[in-house]
Copies of this chain bind each other. A is one copy, B any other.
Amino acid sequence: MSHQVSTGPAKREVSSGPATPYSAPVVELLLALKVAGLDQLLALDDFAHVDSDAISSVLEEFGRLANGVLASSDRVGDVIGAQYDPATGTITTPDEFHRAFSHFVDGGWSALAHPREFGGGELPTVVSLALQEMFASANMALSLNPVLTQGAIEALLQWGNDQQKDIYLARLLTSEWSGTMNLTEPDAGSDLNEIRAMAHQADDGTWRVSGTKIFITWGEHDLAQNIIHLVLARTPDSPPGTKGLSLFVVPKFLVNPDGTLGERNTFRAIGMEHKLGIHGSSTCVMQFDDATGELVGPRHGGMRAMFTMMNAARLSIGVQGPAVGERAFQHAFEYASGRLQGRTGNVKPPERSPLVDHPDVQRMLLLMSTMTRASRLLLFLAGGQKDHAMHLEPGPARERAQQMVDLLTPVAKAWSTDRGVDSSSLGIQVLGGAGFIEEYGMAQRLRDVRIAPIYEGTNGIQAIDLVFRKLPRDGGKWVRLLMDEVEESLAKSGGVDLSTATSVVSEAIMHLRDSTEWMLKTVESAPDDALAGATNYLELFGSAIGGWLMIERARLASAEGHSDAERIALESDFFAVDVVARSSGLVRSITAGAHRLAAHAPQG
């Protein structure tokens, strides 16, 4: 795409196909799944119904959907977006969203990883992460809809009673109905202690929920026949703080015993936010007025149920990092390949070189692609461990897998979404002036992905979760085990020369080990010091483990005779030198303590 001079008025072309290129990276996704242990997973009894070829076909076929209607509806979602009517409290989405979403629903894509008992395909969840990545690359705003639905499904699967499962699950699984999480309130953001929404039990055993919830993603819309809200609220007898929270299922339309839709429930969207990005998704203020709902799980068990939803969602949100990074990279690469600018190497006037021949542009492209790939590997590693934790026989291996999910999830969510922001900002830089012009579509990448480090627990909160909850488990046993295994793996020499990457990553793991021991010692003795270093510690963690995974990927590609094996090996070197080594510069700040933060107030 060369520069198009805009000669007309402020019209925006919004319905003429995909504004920016996207081609689902199926080969790369399959490689990443294998690095994450897909073959071992498929060898488990629970996955006897599926093999590697079937997974490959699923990726191919969903890739075609993503490349097509999902990607082509992305632009109109940004420019027109969700439209709120304050008179009725209803929100409409562009026609293109209806068309795209019906392809998704009708194709049966929504239920792929869910239990067959409720109509699912029971594929590994890590495969659904790969699908979610393609969906979010193609259309991040629309892809959020099934992500939220998935959270509701997980909550109902784990905590719902049989009747609730019967009523809700089948149509949530297909995405005919969609689900939401109603947690945040105007005065309770990351801190759920302050939640004030209240539920009273009616004579018939159902509940009446009242209160205001904010930042409710896809809280109201016209894509589904019904919207099933999962709402955190207090009960009259509840203790203060998060221990007093219970979870309620509150459908937009009450559901009759025969499954048909009944009365409209007594709540509505009383506002919709104007956001920096993801304009196609509605972000609602919901007002519940004695809305009819049912308790899900035990009374005062709301926090545990909420963590079920959030844990399911954290990896899905994390995937938005490589998703947007991948599309930004493909777009930047295409632009840089076509745009002539100056000369490099032996090119003489009047010849000109494409941008992509300039070393600094190549460096930016490689930063984008390798950060994207390392993010994907981290997320898939956590997702693959989750499958192992669900499908291995109970025992030490299963326990280990669950501990690895818990340890890796905050790292994967935070590190990957931060890299998604980095990549989309680099994408703008590669396009230069065109990157700043909305019609070129790269600006939307940055505007969209900027939310990912914030929602589903800010990245600062992920770092606290890592350092204060995950590291200290069993005295630090699991984080040490991970580092031991990584070091053992690094010590093996593969069939391809990865000496640069191996030496840089080994050094980073040493730094990570030192920082980890400092954290383990400090969380108890000087928690503010640990809090002061938590975010930078998480970044070092993600870079070091990401660097190791990039080496694993290169080894696997080499072992499998991958046609791009040499280039993949170079990528692991680049990532080590340009990303991992840089993160090693964080070591000093990680252990520098909280006293240095005393100067945070303004002067002048």
Contact = CB atoms under 8 A, between A and B. Distances in A.
B450 A432 contact: no
Contacts of A236: none
Interface string A231-258: 0000000001100000000000000000
A191 B270 CA distance: 52
A25 B360 contact: no
A90 interface: no
A596 B600 CA distance: 40
Contacts of A2: 186-187
A190 B592 CA distance: 42
Contacts of A49: none
Contacts of A451: 436
A184 interface: yes
Given A12-B274, A275-B438, A285-B7, A573 B602 contact: no
A596 B577 CA distance: 9
A84 to B, nearest CB: 6
Contact of A274 (B7, B437, B584): B437
A535 B186 CA distance: 43
Interface stretch (A109-117, A219-227, A337-345): A337-345
Interface stretch (A171-179, A382-390, A458-466, A475-483): A458-466
A485 interface: no
A460 B597 contact: no
Copy total for this chain: 2
A194 B3 CA distance: 14
Interface stretch (A120-128, A348-356, A490-498): A348-356
A262 to B, nearest CB: 28
B592 A586 contact: no
3 nearest interchain CB pairs? A585-B585, A28-B604, A25-B604
21 contacts: A5-B270, A6-B272, A7-B285, A12-B274, A26-B604, A189-B339, A190-B342, A240-B349, A273-B439, A276-B438, A333-B601, A359-B528, A360-B531, A360-B532, A361-B460, A363-B600, A366-B597, A428-B454, A429-B460, A436-B451, A577-B588
Interface of A: 2-3, 5-10, 12, 25-29, 31, 84-86, 184, 186-187, 189-191, 193-194, 212, 214-215, 240-241, 270-277, 285, 329-330, 333, 339-342, 344-345, 349-350, 352, 356, 358-366, 369, 421, 425, 428-429, 432-433, 435-439, 443, 446-447, 450-451, 453-455, 458-460, 463-464, 504, 528, 531-532, 534-536, 564, 567-568, 570-571, 573-574, 577-578, 581-589, 592, 594, 596-604
